Every structure is written in structure tokens, then in C-alpha cells.
Amino acid sequence: MERMMTGDGRVRTFAECRNRRNRRTLLRVSVVLGVLLAAILALLFCLGRFAGRGPFAPGAAQAKYSPSSWSLIVVNRWNRIPDDYPAPKLTRLSNGESVDSRIYPDLQRMFDDMRAAGLHPEVTSAYRTEAVQRQLLDEKIFLYQNEGASKEEARRQASQWVAEPGTSEHELGLAVDINASGATSTKDSVNEHQWLADNAWRYGFILRYPRGKTDVTGNAYESWHYRYVGAEAAKAMHESGQTLEEYAK
């Protein structure tokens, strides 16, 4: 049997030496793999914690809220309504819908001017509780499932049109869906929507989800959804073509 002398003066067979070498190599590979795995996990954790993405995401991050710039809060699919957001004081409209009382005077003024221009606007949806938002989403998912989509696919499709509870501006009381009174399709509201696109900024409202900005707003184009941001911001955004996400950055 072949033998060799080791550094510490012990005599080992070649087979023993080879085994020891193999064990050392295995140990090194394990350490490298362990470090790599830890790095990947740390990266995913940071991505979830700070960007709200991946397996460690705690759901959407909380939107930044400051009472002094309340009308500029950015709530979307990536930024949910923060835990410290105060429940809005509501003003009830004649058709039963409600809005944050702070936007009511400007909304009323806008509607007066629309009616004076021969239009027939109606707020078809305004403030929603989180429970109502959840119900809307569940109904939409149910609809897609009825059309044959799997639960997962139905949820994906529904979320393109109805926001997850906690991420809808309607839960702020600062957003209104405006259509022609009695409209059954968007075609019926063309005149109202055109007037709003041209003039809503004068009253502090913006078309919140414009065409071609879905990657910024997270929402498909909606000709009926208007958001109150205040006169100064609405004017600036109307002139620059910026979305709320871009303006409030």
C-alpha cells in the first residue's frame, strides 16, 4: 500500500489524503453556496422591505401623508393608504354619494358651471369604505371566473380595473367618478368627459389616469375618474402634462 508523510509527521495512505482533500473542497463549496444564498435572501428581503416587491413584501408600502399637503397624497397600487390617515369628514351629495368635505365647494362650483354649459353630470361613485372596495373587487373577480377564468387569472384581470382594498383613491374621499346622468356606457358621457378634460383643472381636479401613463399611475385610462389635488397643483399638472405621481415626487 502506498503511503505518504503529512506535514504533521503522520503517515497516511493516498486514499486517506484524497478523502481529506475532497472533504475540504466540499466544505469550501458549501461555504460559497451558503454565502450566495444569504446574499440572495438579503437582497429579496431589502427589495420587499423597501420597494414593496417580492416574497418579503408586506403588501403595498404605505403612502406618505402630511396634513399640510393632504390633497397631494399619492395612493396607487404601490402605495396604500397609510395607517395614520385620518377618517375623512364627509359631505353627502344629493344622490347619496359622499366626498371629503374639503373638496365639496370646488366640486359644487364645477357642477354648477357644467350645468350652465348645458351638460348633465352626475357623481356615480365617490367615497368608498375599504369594505365596499373589497366587495367591488370580489364582484369583479366573480365576473371573470364566471367567464371561465381561473381564480388567479380572474384576480389578475379584476385588479386591472378595481383597486385592491386600501389602495383606492375612492377610500380617501378625494376622488369622484363623473358621468352623464343616466349614462349606460362611456359613449353617453363623451361631452361631459370632454368638458372635464378641458376645464376640471380650473376647479382643482385632474384626470387622474390619462392615456399612455399606465406604467406611471398603475391604472388604465379612465375618462371618468377625477381626483382633487387643489387649484395650484391642478394648474401646474394641466400645463406640464404630469401625473400626480410625477408632480408629487
Tell me the closest approach of the beta carbon of residue 163 to Zn ion, in angstroms.
Answer: 9
Residue nearest to Zn ion (CB): 225
Tell me the closest approach of the beta carbon of residue 131 to Zn ion, in angstroms.
Answer: 17
The DSSP letter of residue 58 is -
Q: Which CB, 56 or 161, lies closer to Zn ion?
A: 161
Tell me the closest approach of the beta carbon of residue 44 to Zn ion, in angstroms.
Answer: 34
Residues 234, 195: Cα–Cα separation, whole Å: 15
Grid coordinates representing 18 are: 484524497
For residue 234, give every residue at least 6 positions away whose Cβ sits within 8 Å of its Cβ, in sequence order, or none: 200, 201, 202, 203, 204, 205, 206
Q: Which CB, 177 or 245, lies closer to Zn ion?
A: 177
Q: Which CB, 140 or 225, lies closer to Zn ion?
A: 225
For residue 4, give every residue at least 6 positions away whose Cβ sits within 8 Å of its Cβ, in sequence order, or none: 11, 12, 13, 14, 17
Tell me the closest approach of the beta carbon of residue 177 to Zn ion, in angstroms.
Answer: 4
The sign of the CA dihedral 195, 197, 199, 204 is: positive
Catalytic pick among 130, 222, 245, 246: 222
Q: Which CB, 217 or 242, lies closer to Zn ion?
A: 217
Residues 157, 155: Cα–Cα separation, whole Å: 6
173 half-sphere exposure, CB direction, 13 A CA radius: 19
Is 100 in contact with 172 (CB distance < 8 Å)?
yes
DSSP string, 139-189: HHHHHHHHTT--HHHHHHHHTTTSPPTTS-GGGTT-EEEEEETT-SSGGGG
Binding site for Zn ion (CB under 5 A): 177, 225
Residues 66, 49: Cα–Cα separation, whole Å: 22
Known active-site residue 164:
no
Tell me the closest approach of the beta carbon of residue 191 to Zn ion, in angstroms.
Answer: 19
Q: Which CB, 30 or 160, lies closer to Zn ion?
A: 160
Give me the active site residues, please.
222
